[in-house]
Amino acid sequence: MKLGESARFVERNYASDAGNRDYKVYIPANYRGSPVPLIVMLHGCTQTPDDFATGTGMNELADRQGFLVAYPAQSVAANGLRCWNWFNARNQDRAGEEPALIAGITRQVATEFAIDEERIFIAGLSAGAAMAVILGATYPDLFSAAGVHSGLPFRAARNVTSALAAMRRGGPIAAGSTAHPTTESISGLDPIRTIVFHGDEDPTVEPVNGLAIVEQALARAAPRLGPLQKTIRERGIANGRQFTATTYRDSKARPVVEHWVVHGAGHAWSGGSSKGSYTDERGPHASAEMVRFFLQRRAGRLGVLASMGRALLQWVRTK
């Protein structure tokens, strides 16, 4: 049987008091009805679920690893460029329109399919990444980790004007400043784990925003997890691009935050397929690294990857 031969990519719609959105769900060929992880993918401006799936290669990884992928679709009525409206103040609270819709889609998928509720993750690119940050901050009871590619920190802007300024120069939560308190989060829960990718030559979203996302994640982690151990891996090379990957682990050597800076990369999904928009075939495979980060086991002094993660990375390196 060929990879993905019996897989399905189905269309769905979610409606609630907050509004409605279409979305697609990728069901891998090896799904048999037992609980599996779910990754919710938020596309960037001008993109669609199909385009984003093609560019990131996440569906192919789902076939290999046995998880489901959901792709909420922003409507043209909500934003003419199909951007998630992360910069609107009304979308930066737990009860905000778009966060509530995306959370509702996630729960609807978990109701229709057998999903491991402890392994639901969210990821996005650009505007989708900024919205993924919001979902991670306001729904830590739903998502256990976030993947943020070329995004902006929580509450980096409150309107279109401040959004453009944040994209060009960094938001009010730029590197070195104090993170906003997340009063909408569910108290008593550990902060969700976060992996950040950003090209250091991104002309659309200033790279300092990636560092600000990391600082916010660390600030949220500190009260419950204490000081994190920082490990820097420098001068790595993947698919012709250098990168610097920094990992922050807790006292039990469990990875909590990762920060990947892709040197020479612009505003594009690292290691993606040229068949999709806003992708760069060079550089580390962001999708594979996010899946590895999402699915890795937490046991072990060195944070050893699960066998699934090792198999995944071996496959990626042979492509």
Task: Indicate the average pLDDT of the chain.
Answer: 88
The mean pLDDT of 289-300, rounded to a whole number, is 79
pLDDT at 311: 44
pLDDT at 172: 67
Question: In 10 A of CB 310, how many CB atoms?
Answer: 13
Determine whether 251 is exposed, middle or buried from the number of CB atoms within 10 Å of its CB (0-12, 13-18, 19+).
Answer: exposed
Q: What is the pLDDT of residues 186-214, one digit of tens each?
A: 445 667 999 999 999 999 999 999 999 99
pLDDT at 307: 39
pLDDT at 177: 40
- Give the residue from 174, 175, 172, 107 showing the smallest Cα distance to 135: 107
- pLDDT of 222 above 90: no
- pLDDT of 118 above 50: yes
pLDDT at 4: 52
CB 173 within 8 A of CB 212: yes
In percent, the amount of the chain with pLDDT more than 90 equals 75
Q: What CATH code is assigned to 8-317?
A: 3.40.50.1820
- pLDDT of 243 above 50: yes
pLDDT at 214: 95
CB 242 within 8 A of CB 235: yes
Q: What is the pLDDT of residues 63-110, one digit of tens each?
A: 999 999 999 999 999 999 999 999 999 999 999 999 999 999 999 999
pLDDT at 31: 95
pLDDT-derived band of residue 129, with 50, 70 and 90 as boundaries? Answer: very high
Any idea which residue has 């009260």 for tokens? 223
End-to-end CA distance of the chain: 20
- pLDDT of 233 above 90: no
- Give the residue from 261, 266, 250 showing the smallest Cα distance to 217: 250
pLDDT at 300: 35
- pLDDT of 315 above 60: no
CB 85 within 8 A of CB 79: yes
Q: What is the pLDDT of residues 145-184, one digit of tens each?
A: 999 999 999 999 999 999 999 999 987 654 334 444 444 4
pLDDT at 189: 63
The 3-class secondary structure across 66-135, one letter per residue, is CCEEEEECCCCCCCCCCCCCCCCHHHCCCCCHHHHHHHHHHHHHHHHCCEEEEEEEEEEECHHHHHHHHH
- pLDDT of 301 above 60: no
Whether the full predicted model's pTM is greater than 0.85, yes or no, is: yes
Query: Which of 24-33, 115-124, 244-253 shows the lowest mean pLDDT across its residues?
Result: 244-253
Question: In 10 A of CB 307, how many CB atoms?
Answer: 9
Domain boundaries, the chain: 8-317
pLDDT at 206: 97
95: left (phi over 0), alpha (psi -120 to 50) or beta: alpha
d(CA 294, CA 314): 17
Cβ-proximal residues to 77 (8 Å cutoff; 6+ apart), any chain: none
